[in-house]
Structure 1
Amino acid sequence: MADPLERHAMVKPSAGAWTAVMARHPEFAENAIVEGWVRAGRPLIVRRPGCSDPAGKIPLGLPLPPSHGKRRIAVALDAGEIIECKPPPLLADAAAAAPSAWQDTIDRLIRLCPETRTFGSLAWQHLTGLPYLTDHSDLDLLWPARATAQASTLPLEIAGIAHLAPMRLDGEIICTAGGVQWRELTGADAEEVLVKGLSGVHSMTRAAFLAGGTP
């Protein structure tokens, strides 16, 4: 995988790479669901690097479902150990795994932005078939706002949907500079917002972010 991987990308390592991870981390291998994760065809998610991650490796995460303690497993792999990389699933594709009470909200979100993707509990339930969703789950979303006009209107349109939603809407609007939590973008143009990228977090004005500026 020569190109840098975007945060939230879903990847699959080779079977050999996962066997090596289990050998390096016997505490992970003791958990049957973790040990068999890759063999079952389940992905990992690209995350921001932490202080303990080796330089030059790709930081990945594996969130376990609530029935397994909701533990987050962190590993790091070489790029050559990854055999598949995909963006997080489209909300439209994951919708069938959502509770019936969520469906009206999901329909409105898809109409607002068909390219909306999901990366939290709904995504993992859709991708793995395991029970991630609970009565207290948020709906975690990514809105790829490629056009300036779309980016400037999205925050308030999302707010209108969130006001009536039976679940909390969480997630980021993605522009050129990275991702910003959507609620931060409902303030005034002069306010600074925190922009998250693969290499870290930086601040810039709301106006600059929505205009497609770079850090």
Structure 2
Amino acid sequence: MAEALARHSMVKAAASAWTAVMNRYPELASEPIVAGWAHAGRPLIVRRPACSDVAGMIPLGLPLPPSHGKRRIAVSLAAADIVASAPPPLLADAAAAAPAHWRTTIDLLLQLLPETRTFGSLAWQHLTGLPYLTESSDLDLLWPLSSMAQAKTLPSAIAGIAKQAPMRLDGEITGPAGGVQWRELTGTDEDEVLVKSPAGVASMARAAFLAGAVS
């Protein structure tokens, strides 16, 4: 695929490319759920590159469900080996896979920002049908900024929902520069925040990130 893939994008690998990966890593192929992952049409997630990744390859992750050890598997594929890509699912679409006692919190989050996306255990359960959610699962979210007014109020609004939530709310508020863990953005304008992007992690003033996120 020619276009750059954003972090947290969900991609599908060509079955032949996945077979080649399994041939390179027989220790992965010994796990049936991994060996058959791409053949079952299940996605991988775009992650930040590690030092061991080959330049020019797309770094991808595959988090296994708790029943298979909750292992996080890192692989890399050439762009030509990816046959489909999409943003992580909308929270509204994944909500049906959530536990019943999460629904009030999810409804509040959707009222706050209908465009909220999810990328953790809830997303994987929704996308694969496999049992990822446990009693200790977080709700991992991405909140895209679209206006300056929203930038000023979103972190505190999330904090208000988090105080009443039955699960931990984790994730990032995102803009063109990358994503920042939402709790970091509840500080003052002079505070430095860590901005995560496909290129790595950089420090930026909170006010600069919020201003740039909607410019």
Q: Same fold (TM over 0.5)?
A: yes
Q: Which residue of 1 aligns with 2:25?
A: 25
Q: Which residue of 2 aligns with 1:52?
A: 52
- Taking the aligned partners of 1:68 and 1:49, their CA distance within structure 2 comes to 24
Following superposition, the deviation at residue 148 of structure 1 comes to 2.1
* Structure 2: runs of 5+ lacking an equivalent: none
Counterpart check, 1:90 vs 2:90: yes
Q: Which residue of 1 aligns with 2:63?
A: 63
Q: Deviations over 1:107-165 (max 9, x none)?
A: 00001000000000000000001110000000000001122221221000000100100
Following superposition, the deviation at residue 175 of structure 1 comes to 1.3
Q: Which residue of 2 aligns with 1:183?
A: 183
- Taking the aligned partners of 2:16 and 2:97, their CA distance within structure 1 comes to 31
Aligned positions of 1:134-149 closer than 5 A = 134-149=134-149
Asked if 1 retains the 8 angstrom alpha-carbon contact of 2:146 and 2:213, the reply is no
Q: Which residue of 2 aligns with 1:125?
A: 125
Asked if 2 retains the 8 angstrom alpha-carbon contact of 1:7 and 1:197, the reply is yes
Q: Which residue of 2 aligns with 1:114?
A: 114
Asked if 1 retains the 8 angstrom alpha-carbon contact of 2:174 and 2:213, the reply is no
- Taking the aligned partners of 2:213 and 2:116, their CA distance within structure 1 comes to 21
**Aligned residue pairs: how many?**
214
Q: Let me know the Cα RMSD of the aligned residues.
A: 1.0
The verdict on how the C-alpha distance between 1:213 and 1:109 changes in structure 2, with shifts beyond 3 A counting, is: closer
* Structure 1: runs of 5+ lacking an equivalent: none
Moved >3 Å (runs of 4+):
none
TM-score of the aligned structures, taking structure 2 as reference length: 0.98
Asked if 1 retains the 8 angstrom alpha-carbon contact of 2:141 and 2:172, the reply is yes
Following superposition, the deviation at residue 213 of structure 1 comes to 6.0
Asked if 1 retains the 8 angstrom alpha-carbon contact of 2:145 and 2:213, the reply is no
Q: Which residue of 2 aligns with 1:171?
A: 171
**SS of the residue aligned with 1:183?**
helix
Asked if 2 retains the 8 angstrom alpha-carbon contact of 1:148 and 1:212, the reply is no
